């Protein structure tokens, strides 16, 4: 059996007619930029988050840039965030001229370690940028208290967490601004790039909307240097079809995650996600990430090709580790997995100027050498999940 890490085949088949009607409607209207489809989505998405304003943009990365710009964060400023994330989290901070300040993560939930934030604050710190990684919400009540105490803004990176909640409130509604991605693999994905920012502040919403169209509050009047970062009407039409399904898809992901936990618990050498559903907190499970802490490939498979070393492992001067052998062994059984993320941001060549060395963020670096995402998408079958779990159990037996 071949099991992909992610597939849209069944979803697109089920939504096919509705998607075709929506796309055809946009094409026939001739309104490809802005218009009713975009406004409908922005209003519906804001309502789903439980806030007043949502502004569509070109991507999740642009959403972060627009948020930072709207909060007047730029040259000489510092933003505290996590190095265990996709590169865009820090890249957006650098793109506006500010400096990303990385703190380590909690080894249990992989989220920014709230106990380390205050010691990283300096006179140049202007904001905290928490990442709801893999769909797991950060403890926003505690983080907001830290931000308020120190006079800092909060920008939520919700790229992987559409549909997640903390204490009954959607992610993207806790901070000053929430930033979402609609990349096709996300819980709410389009058929190309797309993103949105969410806020309760009318002034911030207005500024981000203007920044997204060349700093233009009125036609041909440019009051600031902005960007060409509009949500495409075709993408909005697709998202309008998909948004009503989001809660159902997240529930399916939660069921799939629980099934993995039931099938794989107590395997020595394989750490499953540690997540508490206390306080009405809802994980959106964009990824189901395990840690491979101990794995020795079977003798009969030792002649199999090895996984190619990454730059990160070259830098650590290590051989392929247990996780790499495990990933390679699963691939030979038809189970496709993905590593999020093999190289922490602070050790990326692009950030060499920050002067980080191996060992500076030990938990983040440890996780980058151990984590692996198992196949997860709402349409994965129980048979596929059982096969994945059986192959994993066989490899550990």
Is the bond leading into 197 cis (omega within 30 degrees of zero)? no
| pLDDT band at 279; cut points 50, 70, 90 | low
Look-up of token digits 């409130």: 169
Distance in angstroms (rounded) separating the CA atoms of residues 65 and 55: 13
Is 80 exceeded by the pLDDT of residue 9? Answer: yes
Distance in angstroms (rounded) separating the CA atoms of residues 9 and 54: 29
| pLDDT band at 320; cut points 50, 70, 90 | low
Cα–Cα distances in Å, from 125 out to 65, 69, 128, 345, 380?
A: 17, 15, 8, 19, 43
Cβ atoms of 240 and 40 closer than 8 Å: yes
Is 50 exceeded by the pLDDT of residue 216? Answer: yes
Give 158-199 pLDDT, tens digit per residue: 999 999 999 999 999 999 999 999 999 999 999 999 999 999
If we measure between CA atoms, which residue out of 226, 192, 221, 194 comes closest to residue 209?
A: 226
Cβ atoms of 375 and 336 closer than 8 Å: yes
Give Cβ neighbours of residue 13 (< 8 Å, ≥ 6 apart).
none
Is 70 exceeded by the pLDDT of residue 309? Answer: no
**Region 323-331 average pLDDT:** 95
DSSP character string of 327-371 = HHHHHHTTB--B-S-SS-GGGSGGGGGG---TTSSHHHHHHHTTE
| pLDDT band at 274; cut points 50, 70, 90 | confident
**137 against 279, higher pLDDT:** 137
Cβ atoms of 230 and 34 closer than 8 Å: yes
First vs last C-alpha separation in the chain: 20
Instruction: Give me the helices (H) in the chain, please.
Output: 9-29, 36-49, 60-70, 88-95, 117-120, 140-149, 202-211, 233-242, 246-264, 311-316, 322-332, 362-368, 382-396
β-strand 99-103 against 78-82: which pairing, if any?
Answer: parallel
| pLDDT band at 72; cut points 50, 70, 90 | very high
| pLDDT band at 315; cut points 50, 70, 90 | very low
CA 29-31-35 angle, to 5 degrees, is 115
**Region 315-331 average pLDDT:** 78
Query: Following CA atoms 155, 161, 164, 169 in sequence, which dihedral angle do they give, to the nearest 10 degrees?
Result: 20
Phi then psi for 192, rounded to 5 degrees?
175, -160
| pLDDT band at 277; cut points 50, 70, 90 | low
Query: Following CA atoms 186, 112, 103, 269 in sequence, which dihedral angle do they give, to the nearest 10 degrees?
Result: -90
């Amino acid at each position: 059996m071949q099991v992909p890490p992610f597939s849209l085949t069944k979803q697109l088949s089920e939504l096919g007619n509705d998607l075709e009607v929506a796309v055809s409607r946009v094409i026939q209207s001739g309104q490809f930029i802005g218009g009713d489809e975009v406004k409908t989505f922005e209003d519906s998405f804001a309502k789903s988050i439980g806030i007043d304003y949502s502004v569509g943009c070109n991507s999740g990365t642009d959403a972060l840039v627009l948020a930072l710009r709207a909060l007047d964060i730029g040259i000489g400023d510092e933003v505290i965030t996590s190095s265990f994330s996709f590169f865009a989290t820090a890249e957006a901070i650098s793109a506006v001229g500010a400096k990303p300040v990385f703190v380590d993560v909690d080894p249990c939930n992989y989220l920014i370690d709230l106990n380390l934030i205050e010691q990283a604050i300096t006179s140049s710190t202007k904001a905290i940028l928490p990442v709801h990684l893999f769909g797991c919400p950060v403890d926003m009540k505690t983080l907001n208290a830290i931000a308020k105490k120190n006079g800092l803004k909060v920008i939520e990176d919700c790229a992987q967490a559409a549909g997640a909640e903390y204490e009954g409130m959607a992610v993207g509604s806790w901070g000053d601004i929430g930033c979402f991605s609609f990349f096709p693999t996300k819980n709410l994905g389009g058929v190309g790039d797309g993103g949105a920012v969410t806020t309760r502040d009318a002034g911030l919403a207005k500024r981000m909307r203007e920044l997204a169209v060349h700093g233009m509050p009125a036609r041909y009047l440019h009051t600031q240097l902005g960007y060409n970062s509009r949500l495409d009407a075709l993408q909005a039409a697709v998202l309008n079809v998909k948004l009503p399904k989001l809660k159902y898809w997240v529930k399916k992901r939660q069921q799939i995650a629980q099934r993995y936990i039931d099938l794989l618990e107590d395997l020595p050498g394989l750490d499953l996600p540690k997540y508490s559903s206390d306080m009405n907190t809802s994980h959106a499970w964009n990824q189901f990430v395990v840690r491979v802490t101990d794995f020795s490939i079977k003798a009969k498979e030792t002649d199999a090709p090895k996984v190619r070393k990454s730059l990160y492992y070259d830098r650590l001067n290590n051989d392929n580790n247990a996780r790499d052998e495990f990933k390679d062994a699963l691939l030979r059984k038809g189970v496709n997995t993905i590593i999020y993320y093999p190289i922490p941001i602070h050790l990326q060549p692009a950030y060499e100027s920050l002067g980080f060395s191996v060992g500076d963020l030990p938990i983040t670096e440890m996780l980058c050498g151990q984590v692996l995402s198992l196949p997860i998408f709402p349409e994965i079958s129980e048979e596929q999940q059982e096969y994945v779990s059986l192959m994993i159990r066989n490899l550990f037996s």
